[in-house]
Chains A and B, each alone.
Chain A
Amino acid sequence: MARTITYQQAINEALDQEMANDPSVILMGEDIVGGSGADGEMDAWGGPLGITKGLYTKYGDRVMDTPITESAFIGAAVGAAASGLRPVAELMFSDFMGVCFDQIYNQAAKFRYMFGGKAETPVVIRTMYGAGIRAAAQHSQSPYSIFTHVPGLKVIVPSNPYDAKGLLIQAIRDNDPVVCFEHKSLYQSEGGVPEESYTIPFGEANVVREGGDVTIIALGLMVNRSLEAAEALAADGIECEVIDPRTTSPLDDETILESVENTGRAVIVDEASPRCNMATDISALIAQQAFGALEAPIEMVTPPHTPVPFAGSLEDLYVPDATKIETAVRRVAGYSR
């Protein structure tokens, strides 16, 4: 039975159902319970935004608060995964990757390869990303391309509640290390989600909107912004196809290329810093494999090459909005040699 719930509830449900399903699934993170060692209640927070609320009450010791010690607990999640558990660790803000990157980059990602195929490291690291709430430079970044770059890791970026639950359940059942990027502004977004457990395979993009004139490829929060732009453009007879890759590693090349073969025009919308982000990666893919089909240069809609600013007036200029997307689409739609 599908019903409307929030992205946050969808994540909680995925964790809850998998923990019920499999005793080797454990959770760890900072304040994911809240109240550990203190005199008041346990489950005081259920995570900084309440996402894991209720899970400690159901599963007790399998849900563990950690000290603020990312390299130790992310490393512990990795070591526990290589030792037969299926841990889901929460890295509160993806910006904190700096203090635990080795455990993900040099350890988790590489065990299977370095150890000649003997290791399995089924760890999931969930992390918040994205700008827009004035959290400033160290709490607003979108570093998914950095993890995508690393062979041995899988990276997912769900943009809506249905995808969030299905991709996270898939991630927990997956036997490789997976990093799940959740945009902080999407947690209250709503969508239809089946009550039952279900999965979504990695490497399958979602064609959110069909259209024959311009292909827009967008991730996370940028999917909704692209749909806004597409509505406005449709009024002028420009029909956009909006593709949400959903997972950046593996990436669904086929769906992207098929669409660009059809439209000949591509706009990629990426909230991450412009150098070496997913937009550059997908641009190269399209330029290399769909060159003959292109009728216009590929456009990328990204923030400028700056840290994320604090003041709202600046942050609103920083993050790509529907207007900027529209402008880029009109440019490629109107382009002729």
Chain B
Amino acid sequence: MALDREELLHIYRVMKTIRVFEERIHDEFATGEIEGFVHLYAGEEASAAGVMANLTRDDRIASTHRGHGHCIAKGVDVRGMMAEIYGRITGVCHGKGGSMHIADLDEGMMGANGIVGGGPPLICGAALAAKVKGTRNVAVAFVGDGASNQGTTFESLNLATVWNLPAVFVAENNGYAEATSSKYSVGADSIADRAAGFGMPAVSVDGHDFFAVYEAAGEAIKRARDGEGPSFIEARVNRYFGHFEGDAQTYRGPDEVEDLRANRDCIDIFTAAVTTSGDIALADLEGIDRDVLGLIDSAVAEARSAPRPGADDLLTDVYVSY
């Protein structure tokens, strides 16, 4: 389905927001002000944007520990996200979840997950709920190359097939599961081919190419909505930062990241693609850049000055009622 000018500008905004958000967190984390673990998505934006451009607010996604990009693309409030990562009571999870468990069920975001492979079974459930209720909504599970080896992922691929669930599984293969290369840890030659063995359509696409992801995701999501069952997409991506902030990434080749930034940056690729026709000018995009910078700046400032949760908040929301 062709995207119009407004939609393309929106997609640029989404990807740029993710990029600036993550780069900013990288800088702030280094000052020691942000607690706990963060896992940054910078470099993989086209994957999140390409999938989410096919989803509505009522569709559901489950993410990995590297969840900021999925959150932003799904429509979770950026200021609330920043506050959550800063551990403030104004955060989307009131400071109770942090980066690794960032979620907003109202936006259909069922959470980043601290457990590798935690998402796929939950998405089978969300898809089952859509099917039982007859809503035509779909559920998308994001996994990494690491989680693609986890038992929960395999079981979910099978269960989704057996129950003909409106689910889509997206493996963002960035080549590394923590410090271990996927060349080592994935036994098969292709994650997509392996998924096809479970009985569902599976494709592998260049995750740096927004349009490639968008098209493949569009087909898979339509298939699910039409009641034709689950699909698998392997998006080949690259992350710029370490597994976690603080990871020196010594396991990667020298210049690997520099090279990617210079030659295969997905936002640059998108920019080039949308400005060729003349419909969109660089100036339009630069205007968005300024907006985004302003948004992130104020998000950080707000987060910093917001109150932290206190003793009263410690005990709340364990149960609905006990």
Chain A positions within 8 Å of B, measured between CB atoms, are 24, 26, 61-62, 64, 66-67, 69, 71-85, 87, 102-103, 106-107, 110-120, 151-152, 154, 174-176, 203, 250
Contact of A82 among B101, B125, B318 (CB under 8 A): B125
CB distance from A157 to the nearest CB of B (A): 17
Distance A61 CA – B120 CA, assembled complex (angstroms)? 22
Q: Is B273 an interface residue (CB 8 A)?
A: no
Q: Could you list some 21 contacts between A and B, CB below 8 A?
A: A26-B132, A67-B158, A71-B151, A72-B152, A72-B156, A72-B158, A75-B156, A78-B122, A79-B128, A83-B110, A107-B118, A112-B319, A113-B317, A113-B318, A114-B103, A115-B96, A116-B92, A117-B317, A119-B105, A154-B322, A174-B320
Residue in contact with A118 in the complex, picked from B103, B128, B151, CB distance below 8 Å: B103
Question: What is the size, in residues, of chain B's interface with A at 8 Å between Cβ atoms?
Answer: 48
Q: Which of B78-117 contact A (CB under 8 A)?
A: 91-97, 101, 103-106, 110-111, 113-115
Asked if B251 is at the interface (CB within 8 A of a chain A CB), the reply is: no
Which residue of the partner chain, among A77, A106, A115, contacts B105 with CB atoms under 8 Å? Answer: A115
Q: Would you call B101 and A115 a contact (CB within 8 A)?
A: yes
In the complex, the answer to whether B111 meets A76 with C-beta atoms within 8 Å is: no
B126 touches A117 (CB 8 A): no
Distance of A11 Cα from B124 Cα, bound (Å): 27
Residues from chain A with a CB closer than 8 A to the CB of B155 are 69, 71-72
B123 within 8 A of A: yes
Q: Once the chains bind, are A154 and B319 in contact (CB under 8 Å)?
A: yes
Cβ contacts under 8 Å, B317 to chain A: 112-113, 116-117
B115 and A116 contact, CB distance less than 8 A = no
Given contacts A71-B152, A82-B126, A118-B103, A151 and B121 within 8 Å (CB-CB): no
Q: Which residues of A contact B103 (CB under 8 A)?
A: 114-115, 118-119
Which chain A residues lie closer than 8 Å to B121 at the CB level? Answer: 71-76, 78-79, 103
CB contacts under 8 Å to A, within B289-322, are 316-322
Given the complex of chains A and B, what is the CA–CA distance between A223 and B261 in angstroms?
68
Residues of A within 8 A of B129 (CB): 79-80, 83-85
CA distance A87 to B131 in the complex (A): 14
B125 touches which one: A24, A61, A77, A113 (CB < 8 A)? A77
| B60 engages A83 (CB within 8 Å) | yes
Question: Which of chain B's residues have a CB closer than 8 A to the CB of A113?
Answer: 96, 317-318
